[in-house]
């Protein structure tokens, strides 16, 4: 059993939890993930490590309430326990040798991007960050990104905070003005990452994307997290859980990934509605 040390609501749909998991905290690195179960009857879901404290033996996770499992997780309170917390899994983000990096985060993907920005800043790299949200109410982690970045751009689709527009607006401005980066690292919705790679490709800047498809076992055996990459003109299958979650954005077949990601949308919504009704009955 794993104790919830802290719980913090970041916005109406996103929650931060700090979990007591000393063995995971001892090995975790930016870019890796864990797989948890809320209880014995629960499904396994992957969540990226959003931070860790090796001395305290704790790991931070940040999740969006989008389905039945994340709703059940969000119902847990500080001091309560979850059943499983396995990890760290996946390949850590490659940060060695980088001195000037552009970090691009979208929505809850900012929770994954933040520890990478912090690790880069800690090793002396110059970090420029662009974070985007639909509106002001969904904004998270602004202060943390500002502390880790030499320059920070905050974008909202409706202009209710920061600048209006998507994350590609400042990217296009910087690159067209002649700014260069050792690498672009982008994490967020698939459609956002696709367009970030399209924006950076003409400039030949390496672009890393973090993929988070459907996952079950986290060991590459189930095949649920498979992705198609195009390498040297050939289509190659990779598995996000063991080969990633980071990949060369210029090789990823985003259209296929988006199609696969939508396969269980109706089922997930149905389970979410069932969970909502269950919680309403329990409250009554």
Residue 281 pLDDT exceeds 60: no
* Region 109-118 average pLDDT: 93
Q: How many CB atoms lie within 10 A of CB 157?
A: 13
Range list for CATH 3.40.50.80 in the chain: 94-210
Residues of the chain with CATH 2.40.30.10: 2-89
The string of pLDDT tens digits covering residues 171-207 is: 999 999 999 999 999 999 999 999 999 999 999 999 9
Q: What is the pTM of this model?
A: 0.86
The pLDDT, as a whole number, for residue 3 is 97
Q: Are 240 and 260 in contact (CB under 8 A)?
A: no
CATH superfamily of 2-89: Translation factors (2.40.30.10)
| Domain boundaries 94-210, CATH class | alpha beta
pLDDT exceeds 60 at position 74 = yes
* pLDDT tens sequence across 120-167: 999 999 999 999 999 999 999 999 999 999 999 999 999 999 999 999
Compute the average pLDDT of residues 239-254: 92
Query: What average pLDDT does the chain have?
Result: 90
Half-sphere exposure of 186 (CA within 13 A, CB side): 28
- The pLDDT of residue 270: 54
What pLDDT score does 140 carry?
94
Among candidate residues 52, 63, 37, the one with its CA nearest the CA of residue 5: 52
Reported as a single tens digit per residue, the pLDDT across 200-219 is 999 999 999 999 877 777 77
């Amino acid at each position: 059993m794993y104790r919830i040390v802290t719980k913090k609501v970041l916005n109406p749909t996103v929650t931060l939890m700090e979990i007591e998991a000393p063995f995971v905290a001892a090995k975790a690195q930016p870019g890796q993930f864990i797989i948890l179960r809320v209880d014995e009857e629960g499904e396994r879901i992957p969540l990226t490590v959003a931070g860790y404290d090796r001395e305290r033996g704790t790991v931070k996770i940040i999740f969006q309430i989008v389905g039945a499992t994340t709703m059940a997780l969000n119902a847990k309170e500080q001091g309560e326990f979850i059943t499983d917390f396995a990890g760290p899994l996946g390949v850590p983000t490659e940060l060695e040798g980088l001195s000037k990096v552009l970090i691009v985060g979208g929505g809850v993907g900012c929770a994954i991007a933040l520890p990478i920005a912090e690790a880069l800043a800690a090793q002396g790299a110059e970090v420029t960050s662009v974070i985007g949200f639909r509106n002001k109410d969904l904004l998270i982690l602004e202060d943390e990104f500002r502390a880790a970045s030499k320059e920070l751009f905050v974008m909202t689709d409706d202009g209710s905070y920061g600048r209006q527009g998507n994350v590609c607006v400042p990217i296009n401005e910087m690159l067209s003005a002649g700014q260069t980066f050792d690498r672009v690292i982008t994490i967020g919705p698939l459609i956002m990452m696709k367009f970030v790679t399209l924006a950076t490709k003409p400039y030949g800047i390496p672009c890393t994307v973090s993929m988070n498809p459907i996952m079950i076992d986290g060991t590459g055996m189930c095949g649920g997290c498979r992705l198609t990459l195009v390498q040297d003109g050939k289509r190659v299958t990779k598995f996000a859980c063991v080969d990633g979650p980071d990949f060369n954005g210029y090789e990823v077949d985003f259209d296929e990934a988006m199609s696969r990601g939508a396969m269980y949308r109706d089922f997930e919504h149905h389970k979410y509605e069932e969970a909502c009704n269950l919680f309403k009955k329990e409250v009554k």
